[in-house]
Structure 1
Amino acid sequence: MSRSATFDRQMLETAFSEIDAVHRSLPEATLSTLAAEVVTRVANNLRFAVQPDMVPCLDEIDMLCNALLSDDPHAATAFIENVQTKGSSYETLCLLYLTVAARRLGEWWDNDDVSFYRVTVAAGRIYAILRILRMERPIGVPDMQRAAAFASVPGENHTLGITIASDLARERGWDIDLFVGLTHDALVETLEQRQPALIGLSASGRRSMPALTRLIVALRISNPNARILVCGQIAAANLALVGLTGADAAAHDFQGAIGHMERLLDLPTGRLI
């Protein structure tokens, strides 16, 4: 619990701008789904025993919520910086302050104390903070070699491609767990239990974008250490998947995917004999 939570202020504010741009481009139904995903999963993400003196007071949480809801994105940045000056660890910041704030926002949303629009803004900023803290957090190279989980995005009917890709990867020495046909919640729960170092997600086209984005949002919260690779025809659709969804890489063909897999796990390239 001793890792310090550090981030680059400019990087965080850039992430806020990106999230706001995405926010303006998505339909209301998709925004609502993504906001609910962030708020619900972060609110239930406290997984360590909390010492009484670590628990932020209600006034602090209300201040954080109001900063996240503010028209001024600098307000949330300033609050996070202030918490960090007190020596808060990554776990304290991500799994305590943001967890309790997400619960509070959920209550305000349920009670209609804040508008739908403002909650989606706040949820996007929570997601941006988690993404940036994850990038700044030291993450060691996984112990396992050439192991990954492949999954089709929920709702996908075309799973032959990812099945073939799994077989081809196994021929190259990869240990692949393949998941197809699972619902969103079942897939997230399964991957959360297994905690693979690398997750490959297959989607066939633009129509899968809402389900793909929702899935990556959930996995960024449930599997914060995982590298996420998007594969399939959607990767050839010029949708800026890496920036838009938070994926680490995207590839539309098998050779490109294998190259990204080896790079993301910092492995030597080339086929295993």
Structure 2
Amino acid sequence: MAYSEVETIRKTLPKTALTDLAKEVVKRVANNLRAPIPPELRPTSAQIDELCQALLSQDPLAAIGLIEQAQRKGFSYDTLCQIYLAGAAARLGEWWDEDQLSFYKVTIAASGIYAILRTLRLQRTLPAQDLRRSAIFASVPDDTHTLGITVAADMARDRGWDITLLTGLSHDALVEEVENQDTALIGLSASGKRVLPAVLKLIVALRLCKPKARIMICGRLAAMDLHLDGIVGADVAAADFDTAFDYMEKMMNTAPRAP
């Protein structure tokens, strides 16, 4: 499923937007590389190269096969994400900077990395969370239509939610702000198709830095039947206030809570 969603994006977006998405995946995943790494968990240079070549191949299952082999050897989720995939992303980034990879090849590899991360996330058994009635509402970078998200934040507060409202931030500043906060829900407001590339890039970044959080797309873009609740991994697209608040309440009522 994750591979088909990413392939849909590659066929839909212009080359410049795809380049931004590919750079976002490679940069975010490569930045997850942790040091020092225990020797028994450190992949060899040959293993990293093998994973990179699998990600660059036309076979969407080649790379996931290597990840499954690593899982059978006992590699944990954190090891796979923070060491194995991060190492491959860093290597791909080096090849890209050195012009050893074409744009087309890089988008294939980035699509593979992101699809694997989404697959691993879906497979992962997460501990019960102590979810509070808190959420982050944010306007998409470069979207000047912030009245709707401001009104939504006030309405959610009237319903007993603790809302952090973020508007007017650049992509990196917004991701950093969200990454430093503990939240179960991120609501993103987007006014139309013009900001679709920025929305997709932002979802990718948030999925990588906040894998446990749910992402809700709001605003006029959510009403355009673009299947944003599937592409790139948004959890729901809410075209109006009632739909958004119904989802938030349902999320709270069905989510497991820590004892």
TM-score in terms of structure 2 length: 0.94
Matched, 1:132 2:119: yes
The 1:147–1:267 alpha-carbon spacing in structure 2 relative to 1, beyond 3 Å, is: farther
Q: May I ask how many residue pairs the two structures share in their alignment?
A: 255
Aligned to 2:92: 105
- Structure 1: unaligned runs, 5 residues or longer: 1-13, 269-273
- What SS class does the counterpart of residue 18 from structure 1 fall into? helix
One of 219, 223, 243 as aligned partner of 2:210: 223
Q: Is the 8 A contact 1:227 1:264 kept in 2?
A: no
One of 42, 60, 78 as aligned partner of 2:47: 60
Counterpart code for 2:243: G
Counterpart code for 1:31: L
One of 59, 62, 68 as aligned partner of 1:75: 62
Q: Is the 8 A contact 2:30 2:89 kept in 1?
A: yes
Aligned to 1:214: 201
Aligned to 1:94: 81
Counterpart code for 1:224: P
Matched, 1:262 2:254: no
| Whole-angstrom CA distance in 1 between matches of 2:130 and 2:36 | 27
Share of identical aligned residues, percent? 56
Matched, 1:27 2:14: yes
Counterpart code for 1:234: L
Q: Is the 8 A contact 2:34 2:83 kept in 1?
A: no
TM-score in terms of structure 1 length: 0.90
The 1:91–1:207 alpha-carbon spacing in structure 2 relative to 1, beyond 3 Å, is: same
The 1:267–1:171 alpha-carbon spacing in structure 2 relative to 1, beyond 3 Å, is: farther
Counterpart code for 1:253: D
Q: Is the 8 A contact 2:121 2:211 kept in 1?
A: yes
Q: Is the 8 A contact 2:5 2:232 kept in 1?
A: no
The 1:103–1:75 alpha-carbon spacing in structure 2 relative to 1, beyond 3 Å, is: same
Task: Report deviation, 1:141.
Answer: 4.2
Aligned to 2:141: 154
Q: Is the 8 A contact 1:153 1:203 kept in 2?
A: yes
| Whole-angstrom CA distance in 1 between matches of 2:126 and 2:68 | 21
Aligned to 2:38: 51
